[in-house]
Amino acid sequence: KAGVTQTPRYLIKTRGQQVTLSCSPISGHRSVSWYQQTPGQGLQFLFEYFSETQRNKGNFPGRFSGRQFSNSRSEMNVSTLELGDSALYLCASSDAGSETQYFGPGTRLLVL
Amino acid sequence: AQSVTQPDIHITVSEGASLELRCNYSYGATPYLFWYVQSPGQGLQLLLKYFSGDTLVQGIKGFEAEFKRSQSSFNLRKPSVHWSDAAEYFCAVGVMNYGGSQGNLIFGKGTKLSVKP
């Protein structure tokens, strides 16, 4: 099976803009989780979607949002970008009922 | 609150030497524990996981980890390190509720491994 794919791999934006990142899970996986990785804060959980519903959310401001489509593909959106949003954004998928998450390569976002 | 501590930020070992990376967790129930590895600029690759049963688990690339409930630890080991093992290693605990996984992993800050030739 193909692994988790994320697009784009790299992005450069300026403050105040918005950005949309995409994640395609492993075929058959219905759960998609998103994480932010920064040198200072490490890996932090953003949110998780299962069957198009957000089941869990981390401690991030409302500027961070996401959605999941019927084919389990997921997008996350960050509005009104701030310099501190520069990070590696990782997506992970898991099978229904499984606790094991498989990660994609990430999208590196740089906010100038 | 749940947390994961990796006490060593950076470890350097010689190629061929043994390796142990430490991980301590704080979690109210029986934890679901994971070790992931990340090469520069890459995502996370699952090395191994512990859910229940045998407390010594085997993973990929010759890694193993031992769950010790009394010490709240889940240390990663490898008997002989290869230069290609140089990477950052993350320990994580899975947050669960009565319905199962919450899709939320809590990660330690990571241990960067350097390998000397």
Contacts of A103 in chain B (CB under 8 A): 36, 43-46
Residues linked to residue B64 through DSSP beta bridges, in sequence order: B58, B77
**Token pair belonging to A59:** 């401690």
**B45 near A CB under 8 A:** yes
Contacts of B48 in chain A (CB under 8 A): none
B1 pLDDT higher than 80: no
* DSSP string covering chain B: --EEE---SEEEEETTS-EEE--EEE-SSPPEEEEEEE-TT--EEEEEEE-SS-SEEE-GGG-EEEEEGGGTEEEEEESS--GGG-EEEEEEEEEEETTEEEEEEEE---EEEEEE-
Q: Do B44 and A90 touch (CB under 8 A)?
A: yes
Q: Which of B52-56, B75-79, B100-104 has the highest average model confidence (pLDDT)?
A: B75-79
Local confidence band at B97 (pLDDT 50, 70, 90 cut-offs): low
Rounded average pLDDT over A9-33: 96
pLDDT band at A96 (very low <50, low <70, confident <90, very high): confident
Burial class, B36, CB count within 10 angstroms (exposed 0-12 / middle 13-18 / buried 19+): buried
Which residues from A are below 8 Å from B34, CB to CB?
Answer: 100
Residue B89 confidence class, pLDDT cut points 50, 70, 90: very high
Confidence of residue A2 (pLDDT cuts 50, 70, 90): confident
Q: A21-51 b/e with 16+ CB inside 10 Å = b?
A: bebbbbeebbbbbbbbbeeeebbbbbbbbbe
Look at residue A98 in the predicted model and tell me its pLDDT. 82
When the pLDDT of each residue in chain B is averaged and rounded to a whole number, the result is 92
Q: How far apart are CA A12 and CA A14, in angstroms?
A: 7
Q: Are A32 and A25 in contact (CB under 8 A)?
A: yes
Helix (H) or strand (E) segment spanning residue A48 = strand A42-50
Q: What is the mean pLDDT of residues B39-66?
A: 93
